[in-house]
Amino acid sequence: MTTASLTIQEHHNSYLRELLLTTNAKEQAAYVLCGRTTIAADPWNGYSHHKLISYEVIPVPEDEVISSSTQHITWKTDSFVKVLQTAQAKNLTVGVVHSHLGGLNEFSIQDDTNEPDLVQLAQNRNGSDTQLLSVILTPEGNLVGRLWISPQDAIPLQMIRVVGQIIHLHYPNRGQGVSPTAFQRQALAFGEALNQDLSMLRVGVIGCGGTGSAIAMLLPKMGIRNIALFDKDIVEDTNLNRLHGARQPDADTMTPKVKAVERSLLELGLGVQVRTYQAWIGETSCRDALKALDVIFCCTDDHSGRLMLNRFAYYYATPVFDMGLSIEVSQGKTHNFQALDGRVTVLAPTPRHICLLCREIINPVIARDEALKRNDPAEYERRKAEAYVIGEGNPSPAVVLFTTEVANMAMQELIHRLQGFRGEDGSTPHRVRKFHLTIDRKPAAVPNPNCPVCGVIGAEWWGRGDVVPFLGVVE
C-alpha cells in the first residue's frame, strides 16, 4: 500500500488564499510546484509514502480562464504545459489548487471528469511516472487533496500540513474524534481538536539525554502516539540524575539510551508506538524515519548533527524545535551563576525563523571536528594532539531542574503553534529563559543574505525535499 501527504509553507498558503478566495464569487485556480520525498517504508505502518512540499505558487493567468462560476472553472492548458516544463527541469511535482466557493469539502464530479485528462497530458509530456497533485481550498480554509499516479489511480492525501509560525493540520474527520479518558481534562482546556491533532503527529526526539528524555516523557502524556527516538549513546552513571526513565541497572548493563526511554514510554500504557534508532542522526539508516516526521525536537549537543537538522528543517519544511542549556559558574569559594540560560529556537522556512548558523548557535569548526572524530578517529587524535581540535575540555554543568524546564518550554511552543493559546502573535522563534534572573528574552537576529540555509540564497532550497546529494551537501 502507498500513502501520500502534503506540506504547505505558510506563506504559500497565504498566497493561495489571496489568489483563490476572491470576492467575485467565482472559482479560481493556481499551480503549486512541489519538492518531494519518497519514504520506502513508514516506520509506524510499513507503507511506502509520497510526501510533497510546496516550493512555488504560480497563478493561472486570467487571460487563460475560459469560464468560471461558483461551481466550476476551466482554463487553457498553455500555462499548464509551461509549468510542466519547469517541473521537469527542476525535478519537481506539479499541483493544481482550486477553490470550492460553495464549501464542498470533497472533489466534485467535474473534478473527477477533468483531472484524468490533465494527468494524461502531464505523463505524455514529462514521462509515464509523472504524478499530479490536486488540492481543494474552501472559504473556511479547509484543504483536501489527492495525488494522481495515473489517469485511473489517485491516492487521497492522508494529511495536509500548513507549516510556519503556526501549524495547521488537515485530515479526514478532523474535529470529530472523542478524546480517550486519559486526555479528557486536557480537552477541557484546549478542545478536542488538539488531542486529535497530537494523536496524528509523528514526532522525533534527537538526543535522549537530560532534555531529550524529558521531552520524550511529555509526548505520550500530551497524547502523541507515534514517537521516534534517536541517540547512539548508552546509559552511564553520570546520566542517572537527569535521564528520565533510566535506572541503575541500565548503567550497569550499558543499555542504549533509546531503549531505556522506550521502555519507560511503553510502561505508561497510553497506546504509543515507539521506534528507536541507536545511531547518529546523520547516518543514512535514519533518513527514512527522519523524513517521515511531522515535528522534530533537537536535544543534542552535537554541532554536526545540529548542522544537518538546520538544513533539514528548510529543505523539508519540517519544524525543528532546537533546545539548549547554558550554565556558567564563577570559580570561587561560592558558586555564582554567570549564566543559567535555557533556550528554544524554532527552525522553519519563514523569514522570521533565523537559522542556527546566523544565530551563532552552531560552531562550524566544532562540527567539522566532530565529523572527523566520527569518520577518521586516528586523524582526529593526531590533530587533537597538535591542538587543531577544539571543544575537548571538561564536561558542561547540567541540572535536571533546568533540562526538564527547557523541555517544557519547547512543548509549550509546539502546543501554541497547533492551538494558539497565546493569541495571534504568540509564536516565538527564539526564546531564552534566564533562570537565575527569572526573566524571558527574545533576542533578535538578522539572517546573512548569503546564508545557504535561511538567507536569500538559501530560500531557493526551501521545500525542495530530496536532492542529490542529500541536503545539497557533498558527503
Q: What is the CATH number of the domain that holds 195?
A: 3.40.50.720
Max intra-chain CA distance, the chain: 82
User: Is residue 331 in a domain?
Assistant: yes
What pLDDT does residue 391 have? Answer: 52
472 vs 93: CA distance, rounded Å: 19
CB atoms within 10 A of CB 385: 9
159 vs 5: CA distance, rounded Å: 5
> How confident is the model over 381-391, as a mean pLDDT?
54
Q: Is the pLDDT of residue 378 over 80?
A: no
- Residues in Cβ contact with 88 at an 8 Å cutoff, skipping those fewer than 6 apart: 125, 126
Contact 139, 25 (CB under 8 A): no
Whole-prediction pTM: 0.95
User: Is residue 223 in a domain?
Assistant: yes
User: Is residue 270 in a domain?
Assistant: yes
Last-in-domain residue among 104, 137, 163: 163
Grid cell for residue 378: 586516528
Identify whether residues 202 and 268 lie together within a single domain. yes
What pLDDT does residue 389 have? Answer: 46
Identify whether residues 150 and 122 lie together within a single domain. yes
Q: Which amino acid is at 179?
A: S
DSSP string, 156-182: EEEEEEEESSSEEEE-TTTT-----GG
Angstrom distances, CA of residue 211 to CA of 308, 347, 408: 19, 18, 9
Contact 135, 169 (CB under 8 A): no
32-56 confidence digits (pLDDT tens): 999 999 999 999 999 999 999 999 9
Identify whether residues 217 and 322 lie together within a single domain. yes
Identify whether residues 110 and 10 lie together within a single domain. yes
Last-in-domain residue among 163, 189, 207: 163
Q: What is the CATH number of the domain that holds 56?
A: 3.40.140.10
438-475 confidence digits (pLDDT tens): 999 999 888 899 999 999 999 999 999 999 999 998 66
User: Is residue 172 in a domain?
Assistant: no
Identify whether residues 224 and 143 lie together within a single domain. no
Identify whether residues 410 and 292 lie together within a single domain. yes
Identify whether residues 375 and 239 lie together within a single domain. yes
Identify whether residues 384 and 417 lie together within a single domain. yes
For the chain, how many structural domains are there in total?
A: 2
Identify whether residues 64 and 153 lie together within a single domain. yes
- Residues in Cβ contact with 250 at an 8 Å cutoff, skipping those fewer than 6 apart: 235, 260
Identify whether residues 300 and 442 lie together within a single domain. yes
Identify whether residues 300 and 358 lie together within a single domain. yes
Identify whether residues 151 and 232 lie together within a single domain. no
Average pLDDT of the chain, as a whole number: 92
Contact 310, 321 (CB under 8 A): no
- Give residue 102's domain range: 2-163
Last-in-domain residue among 116, 137, 163: 163
By three-state DSSP, how is residue 24 classified?
coil
User: Is residue 175 in a domain?
Assistant: no
